[in-house]
Amino acid sequence: MNTQLHNRTPLAPDTVPGIFWCSDLISTRDLGPEGVHAVLHLAELMKARPSVFQRALAGKQMVMFFEKPSLRTRITFESGMISLGGSAMFVDQSRSKLDAREKLSDIAQNLERWIDVIVLRTFAHETIEGMARHASVPVINALSDLEHPCQALADYLTLQERFGDLKKITLAYVGDGNNVAHSLLLTCACLGSSIRIATPKGYGCNPQIVADARKLAKQTGARLEFLTDPGAAVAGADAIYTDAWASMGQEHEAKQRAAIFEPYRVNKQLMAEAAPHALFMHCLPAHRGEEVTDEVMDCENSAIFDQAENRLHVQKSILYLLLGGAVRLPARSAHA
């Protein structure tokens, strides 16, 4: 299979989806199959012709509250919003939880008076749900303990660029059944693709997420498999994905987890069991020498920086769809 950028029909600006798909993005489930397709379609268009959208969110303001550290998510949301003509503010909540000083509903009812969109990275998924319940403006999940929807959308955009038809490929995820695994699973289910998730016993995916993914898969024809054997998961796969063995907030479990997850390390031997063209994928930050070796991180088929780049395009697409951005269409002959 061709792992170079797949040749797809160029998109025309007048194919921009013109309706809202949901009012918040807390879970991939909020988008559903139609919404996931819309985000990816618009992200492709924004990536190909960024100048068309440079005033699309002019005058709109985004605020971000992060309880955990971030490189990619913070920079791509800020840069994405600014490149759409809007503005971005960042509030560092790493020293105290968002609702420690004031009731969440009071914060929400302040923010909605000033701000057009709220982006949250929190420990508890419920904090993001609570903000969305109380604020009348869109709320976006920039990572919680349960999901990382923006990450998985960028990852599937990366797979689509490399392989074209997502229904023909299999992604193998090996490691912890965590927030990233959950969002990959739900995104795969929305897109009718195929995923195999291998986790140690006791570290599998959340049962409610699995049940919801299975329901979506019934609609789309997606194939979802859950295993414990990393070798069986990666056999013949088109891409191998892993993530930290101990996520942010689980640092105190790192030593105990390292012993359990050792057989799930992605190294040259495990990569060799996948298809010869198989990509290596990771949301980053990676813990080199733990869940992945240096030689795999830095190999020719590593797609890690394409994934990071696509965070920008996917989040611009999400901001646009949630905020109902305006696009001034150029003459048909104009180029971005």
**Using rule CB under 6 A, residue 71 touches ligand CP:** yes
Catalytic residue, chosen from 72, 74, 121, 265, is: 121
Of 74, 125, 151, 188, the active-site residue reads 151
Applying CB under 6 A, the span of 41-49, 69-77, 265-273, 327-335 interacting with ligand CP comes to 69-77
Give 198's strand partners.
174, 227
**Contact of 280 with 296, CB cutoff 8 Å:** yes
Catalytic residue among 243, 282, 306, 315: 243
Q: Which of 27, 28, 73, 247 binds ligand CP (CB under 6 A)?
A: 73
Binding mask 245-284 for ligand NVA (x = CB under 6 A): --xx----------------------------------x-
Q: How far apart are CA 217 and CA 123, in angstroms?
A: 28
Per-residue binding letters, 146-165, with ligand CP (x by CB under 6 A) = -----x--------------
The residue type of 188 is: C
Give the phi and the psi of residue 23 in degrees, each rounded to 5: -95, -20
Dihedral pair phi/psi, residue 294, rounded to 5°: -60, -40
Taking CB within 5 to 8 Å according to partner kind, which of ligand CP, ligand NVA, none is near residue 71?
ligand CP
32 bridge partner residues: none
Clarify whether 148 is annotated catalytic.
yes
29-37, 202-210, 269-277, 281-289 -> range binding ligand CP (CB under 6 A): 281-289
Annotated catalytic residue 223? no
User: Which position among 28, 122, 141, 178 is part of the footprint of ligand NVA (CB under 6 A)?
Assistant: 178
* Contact between residue 314 and residue 159 where contact means Cβ atoms under 8 Å apart: no
Q: How far apart are the first and last CA of the chain?
A: 30
Of 115-123, 186-194, 203-211, 242-250, which segment contacts ligand NVA by CB under 6 A?
242-250
Estimate to the nearest angstrom the gap between the alpha carbon of 319 and the chain centroid: 14
Among the listed ranges 32-40, 103-111, 177-185, 225-233, the one in contact with ligand NVA (CB under 6 A) is 177-185
| DSSP for 132-187, written as a single string | HHH-SS-EEES--SS--HHHHHHHHHHHHHHHS-GGG-EEEEES--SHHHHHHHHH
121 catalytic per annotation: yes
Residues that bind ligand CP (CB under 6 A): 70-73, 143, 151, 283-285
